Amino acid sequence: MSVLTRRDFGKLGGAAALAASLPLAAQAAGPKVLRCVMHSGLRITDPIITTAYIARNHGYMIYDTLFAVDEKLQVQPQMVDHWDVSADKLTYSFTLRPGLKFHDGAPVTSADCIASIQRWGKRDGMGQKLMDFTASLTAVDDKSFKLVLKEPYGLVLSSLGKPSSNVPFIMPARIAATPADQNVPEEIGSGPFRFVKAEFQPGSKVVYEKNTDYIPRGEPASSLAGGKLVKVDRVEWINITDYQTAVNALANNEIDYIEQPPHDLLPILKSTDKVVVKDYNPLGFVGTCRMNFLLKPFDNPKIRQAVLHAISQQDWADAQIGNPDYSTLTGAMFIAKTPFATEVGFPPKPDLALARQLLKDGGYDGTPVVIMQPTDLAIVTALGPVTAQALRNIGMTVDLQAMDWQALVGRRAKQTPVAEGGWNMFHTTWAAADMLNPVANLGVNGRGRTGGWFGWAEDAQIEKLRDDFARETDPAQQKTIAENVQKRAYELVTYIPTGQYTMPYAYRDSVSGILAGPVPVFWNVDKTA
Amino acid sequence: MAIVATIVFLLLRFSAGDPAAVLAGDAATPATIAAIRTRLGLDQPMAVQLVRWFWQLLHGDLGTSIISNQGVAHLIADRMAPTLALSLTTILFAILVAVPLGVVAAWKHGTIVDRAVMTFSVLGFSMPVFVLGYLWILGFAIKLRWLPVQGFSPLSAGIGPFLAHLVLPTLTLSAIYIALIARITRASVLEVLGEDYIRTARAKGVPERAVLMRHALANAAVPIVSVIGIGVALLIGGVVVTESVFNLPGLGRLTVDAVLARDYPVIQGIILVFSGVYVLVNLAVDLAYVLLDPRIRY
């Protein structure tokens, strides 16, 4: 019987180390591969049937959009070459850029754009609103189509250039014919990257290759707009569920980029050699506290207002982020430092005496408040206990129920009483880009049980204001209406913002050209050996 | 396995969460969620769903993932290689290390060697897989840079990268397995060493090595093989955590993903596969008894 000596073992270790280093060495001479850890694994490849941000990001890889926002959030033409609007503001005409092709080689036509917009219009809130105002959407020829409105609508371009979920991506008409509640059967777009289906492992790995047929616009890249110039051959999204492992892998040069490293690991990353930590998404994200309007005690506006005056954004930010460099205290429902930002209606600081008085005026009878607390989503986990303590401070009874996020997702859809699986309150987070105006922001939706967002706030006045906003084409008037919407939303307390926060990217210093904007994109990004 | 299948099916239906709500996303209205439930057949009575699933199974169809829309059999096959590789290297490494350790501990019963082996065993049992995993990563990947932190390299990409990516996960996952087998080996061999035939062999002047290997270990093999079989269940549990720590895209990760997304067909399919493997391993262990102990007959 042969026995491994210590020297043999050393040789084996050396061989293994050499072998492990081979792919990296080979990579230096071979194609440029960008290995990225995104915030989640891609499971659903259809960015229209889901609002998941990872599906949206995937959409930007393989699809293109008619319009897109630049880094100043201005809508710019993308697939569209030129467009115009009639003097009565009822007819929009669009002409596509020449040479646009899908990944299967077929040219992009007006019919593809119309089918894609119609499918998106069945799922997305802004899309539905646009379709409500649309009289017809018809092809003029293969490259031109026109949208005729029933009445002037101020959000046509910002709807078609909507930056975040759901984004009106353009697919071949045969794929866009898929029912809007079913995943598309193929991942064929006309975007700057192609989806490599053979290497797709749902929830684990996604591979994209450079689309060599893509014709970028002539303008420089700016966020989601401009020339989408691809500088690497291949992008791999590797889902590392354990962030400590992801950080170790970045330090060890096994990956190039982490989209959303948790705030508590940022000090480690900042002190790691050859790793850069930088924020490219200044709008960031927003936390929200949502109450259920259908059930006691939050069916009573005075009790909802009591909660509004009891909470402290500072406490939420301390628990959730713990670093003022990455958090902003703001009551701006349509996002601080953007065109419709306003603090109107938001209490400047907690007022427990007023909160207790409102609770008394509302006749609070001690009904326990069931707060659903997800324990597996770190960025949301800390919010529940802070809110629970704030409610206890004003004399409310709280039942903080721990569960995983998907249990919460299933339960929040229930409109039944608490005893039958219902709920009173939950917290969630949004990309700030989803909340930039009263139509896009689902939190101010007042459509109630049938058309409202979970919690089902119902209010005819706020719905009328949202419609007024949609009809308005003058930006100054839009801003006034947005202020009125926010004022009304705080009277109703449709939701409470827990504050805005940013999540910087971490990447190897060999990576360059990352674009600032609300969505992580990989055109313009380069990598040196 | 039919019982396992039924229990898994029922537990999933009674647990919190709704795959239709997961699919529908953040902007969904109750009507959208209801439409998805209908399309997926989740609005049907539980008995109807169960019968439908069994009918599929009888036709060799594990179903389709609710979330990714891919065949469950395809998903499982796609993730099989890392789990299989990790399990086999772990079992092999554990046996190669634990059996000699157990034999030596029994042979040197009561000495410092015995105590050292038992201390190692207790440590192996006590140390959580994720703690051990991070320690290995810190030492061998971050500090020494000998081995990769994470990932899997298929055998088709070369034996070197394949083994390099498996060293740390194997060291991590095998700790508890080594502890278990070493303890049982020690106890079994110790018991056999007290038997009359061992005393006779020694009296006849049989070399100690032959006494240990040919007489003691051979006669202690049945409980050791049994515990190796039982340990497969431990292994399956450990695989889930180890695959997360080392980012191996195997069945453990797929299980966690499917559970978190309430992807019923995938969870059911994986548990059926795991229970099938467990049954096969136990069958192999039972058959091994015949080879190890000629007195055993079925």
| Residue A456: C-alpha distances to residues A371, A451, B37, B289 (Å) | 16, 8, 20, 64
Q: What is the pLDDT of residues A62-105, one digit of tens each?
A: 999 999 999 999 999 999 999 999 999 999 999 999 999 999 99
End-to-end CA distance of chain B: 22
Assess B142–A contact: CB distance below 8 Å, yes or no.
yes
The answer, yes or no, to whether residue A26 has pLDDT greater than 50, is no
For residue B128, with 0-12 CB atoms within 10 Å meaning exposed, 13-18 middle and 19 or more buried, which class applies? exposed
pLDDT attached to residue A29: 60
Collect all residues of chain A within an 8 Å Cβ-Cβ radius of residue B32: 181
- Decide if A254 and B151 are in contact by the 8 Å CB cutoff: yes
Question: Which chain B residue's Cα is nearest to A199?
Answer: B78
The answer, yes or no, to whether residue A24 has pLDDT greater than 70, is no
Cα separation, A253 vs A236, in Å, equals 14
Q: What percent of chain A has pLDDT over 90?
A: 87
Name A320's Cβ contacts closer than 8 Å, sequence gap at least 6: A287, A327, A379, A380, A382, A383, A498, A499, A501
pLDDT attached to residue A196: 97
CB B102 within 8 A of CB B183: yes
- Neighbouring-strand partners of residue A501: A285, A327
The answer, yes or no, to whether residue B86 has pLDDT greater than 80, is yes
CA A276 to chain centre: 24
What is the ipTM metric for this complex?
Answer: 0.84
**Chain B neighbours among A 223-282 (CB < 8 Å)?**
238, 240-242, 244-246, 248-249, 251-252, 254
Collect all residues of chain B within an 8 Å Cβ-Cβ radius of residue A183: 69
The answer, yes or no, to whether residue A12 has pLDDT greater than 60, is no
Q: What is the pLDDT of residues A376-430, one digit of tens each?
A: 888 999 999 999 999 999 999 999 999 988 889 889 989 999 999 999 999 999 9
Cα separation, A454 vs A245, in Å, equals 35
Assess A25–B contact: CB distance below 8 Å, yes or no.
no
CB B173 within 8 A of CB B238: yes
Q: How far is A123 from chain B (nearest CA, A)?
A: 8
pLDDT attached to residue B26: 79
pLDDT attached to residue B21: 85
pLDDT attached to residue A397: 97
CB B147 within 8 A of CB B140: yes
Confidence of residue A115 (pLDDT cuts 50, 70, 90): very high
Residue B289 one-letter amino acid: Y
Assess B99–A contact: CB distance below 8 Å, yes or no.
no
The answer, yes or no, to whether residue A138 has pLDDT greater than 80, is yes
pLDDT attached to residue A389: 97
The answer, yes or no, to whether residue A28 has pLDDT greater than 80, is no
Average the pLDDT over A473-484 and give the result: 95
Assess A516–B contact: CB distance below 8 Å, yes or no.
no
Neighbours of A360 (CB within 10 A): 13
Task: Go through chain B and tell me how many residues it has.
Answer: 298
Q: Which two tokens stand for residue A33?
A: 């591969």
The secondary element (H helix, E strand) that includes residue A372 is: strand A369-374
Q: What percent of chain A has pLDDT over 70?
A: 95
**Chain A neighbours among B 143-162 (CB < 8 Å)?**
145-151, 153, 157-161
Assess B257–A contact: CB distance below 8 Å, yes or no.
yes
SS3 for B200-238 is HHHHCCCCHHHHHHHHHHHHHHHHHHHHHHHHHHHHHHH
Higher pLDDT: A98 or B238? It is A98
Assess B262–A contact: CB distance below 8 Å, yes or no.
yes
Mutate to test the interface with A, among B78, B150, B209, B248 (most CBs of A within 10 A): B150
Q: What is the pLDDT of residues A423-471, one digit of tens each?
A: 999 999 999 999 999 999 999 999 999 888 999 999 999 999 999 999 9
Angular region, A421: left φ>0, alpha ψ -120 to 50, beta rest: left
Question: Which chain A residue's Cα is nearest to B28?
Answer: A453
Interface A-B: count of C-beta contacts within 8 A: 170
The answer, yes or no, to whether residue A1 has pLDDT greater than 70, is no
CB A24 within 8 A of CB A255: no
Collect all residues of chain A within an 8 Å Cβ-Cβ radius of residue B159: 19
Cis status of the peptide bond prior to A166, with omega within 30 of 0: yes
Higher pLDDT: A21 or B53? It is B53
Confidence of residue A349 (pLDDT cuts 50, 70, 90): very high
Name A246's Cβ contacts closer than 8 Å, sequence gap at least 6: A37, A240, A255, A258, A261, B247
pLDDT attached to residue B184: 93
Q: For residue A181, give the nearest of B22, B35, B70 by CB distance.
A: B35
The secondary element (H helix, E strand) that includes residue A430 is: strand A425-431
Q: How far is A23 from chain B (nearest CA, A)?
A: 8
- Decide if B21 and A181 are in contact by the 8 Å CB cutoff: no
Q: Which two tokens stand for residue B255?
A: 């299980």
Confidence of residue A303 (pLDDT cuts 50, 70, 90): very high
Question: Which chain A residue's Cα is nearest to B76?
Answer: A201
Q: How far is A279 from chain B (nearest CA, A)?
A: 26
Name B21's Cβ contacts closer than 8 Å, sequence gap at least 6: A409, A410, A412, A413, B28, B33
**Chain B neighbours among A 445-484 (CB < 8 Å)?**
449-453
Q: Return phi, psi of residue A93, to 5°.
A: -115, 135
Q: For residue A404, give the nearest of B30, B39, B260 by CB distance.
A: B260
Higher pLDDT: B39 or A26? It is B39
Question: Which chain B residue's Cα is nearest to A37?
Answer: B247
Collect all residues of chain A within an 8 Å Cβ-Cβ radius of residue B158: 19, 22
**Chain A neighbours among B 22-41 (CB < 8 Å)?**
22-33, 35-36, 39
The answer, yes or no, to whether residue B99 has pLDDT greater than 50, is yes
- Decide if A203 and B165 are in contact by the 8 Å CB cutoff: no
Q: How far is B161 from chain A (nearest CA, A)?
A: 5
CB A507 within 8 A of CB A275: yes
What mean pLDDT, rounded, does chain B reach? 90
Cα separation, A127 vs A125, in Å, equals 5
Collect all residues of chain A within an 8 Å Cβ-Cβ radius of residue B260: 376, 404-406
Cα separation, A121 vs A116, in Å, equals 8
The secondary element (H helix, E strand) that includes residue A400 is: strand A398-403
C-alpha count within 13 angstroms, C-beta hemisphere, residue B122: 5
The answer, yes or no, to whether residue A19 has pLDDT greater than 50, is no
Collect all residues of chain B within an 8 Å Cβ-Cβ radius of residue A51: 25-27
Q: For residue B25, give the nearest of A52, A203, A411 by CB distance.
A: A52
The answer, yes or no, to whether residue A119 has pLDDT greater than 90, is yes
Question: Which chain B residue's Cα is nearest to A246?
Answer: B150
For residue A58, with 0-12 CB atoms within 10 Å meaning exposed, 13-18 middle and 19 or more buried, which class applies? buried
CB A181 within 8 A of CB A133: no
- Among A71, A154, A151, A149, which Cα is nearest to A475's? A154
Q: Which two tokens stand for residue A411?
A: 């339960």
pLDDT attached to residue B231: 82
Mutate to test the interface with A, among B12, B13, B26 (most CBs of A within 10 A): B26
Confidence of residue A9 (pLDDT cuts 50, 70, 90): very low
DSSP E strands: which ranges in A14-90?
33-37, 64-65, 67-69, 75-77, 80-85
Apex A385 CA angle, A383 and A388, nearest 5: 110
pLDDT attached to residue B295: 78
Q: Which two tokens stand for residue A511?
A: 């990576």
Neighbours of A501 (CB within 10 A): 21
- Among A66, A91, A99, which Cα is nearest to A80's? A66
- Decide if A242 and B244 are in contact by the 8 Å CB cutoff: yes
Higher pLDDT: A169 or B222? It is A169
Average the pLDDT over A310-323 and give the result: 95
- Decide if A410 and B262 are in contact by the 8 Å CB cutoff: yes
**Chain B neighbours among A 358-397 (CB < 8 Å)?**
376
Cα separation, A357 vs A359, in Å, equals 5
Collect all residues of chain A within an 8 Å Cβ-Cβ radius of residue B26: 51, 165, 428, 430, 442, 453
Q: How far is B139 from chain A (nearest CA, A)?
A: 12
Residue B183 one-letter amino acid: R
pLDDT attached to residue A406: 81
The answer, yes or no, to whether residue A189 has pLDDT greater than 90, is yes
Cα separation, B147 vs A253, in Å, equals 12
Mutate to test the interface with A, among B14, B42, B65, B68 (most CBs of A within 10 A): B68
pLDDT attached to residue A93: 98
Q: What is the pLDDT of residues A331-341, one digit of tens each?
A: 999 999 999 99
> Minimum mean pLDDT among A27-36, A490-499, B122-131, B224-233: which range?
A27-36
Q: What is the pLDDT of residues A206-256, one digit of tens each?
A: 999 999 999 999 999 999 999 999 999 999 999 998 899 999 999 999 999
Name B273's Cβ contacts closer than 8 Å, sequence gap at least 6: B76, B251
Confidence of residue A166 (pLDDT cuts 50, 70, 90): very high
Look up the pTM and report it: 0.88
Q: Which two tokens stand for residue B105?
A: 């501990």
Cα separation, B181 vs B97, in Å, equals 9
8-state DSSP, A516: P
- Neighbouring-strand partners of residue A505: A278
Confidence of residue A23 (pLDDT cuts 50, 70, 90): very low
Q: DSSP labels for A25-37?
A: HHHHHS--EEEEE
**Chain B neighbours among A 91-110 (CB < 8 Å)?**
none
What mean pLDDT, rounded, does chain A reach? 92
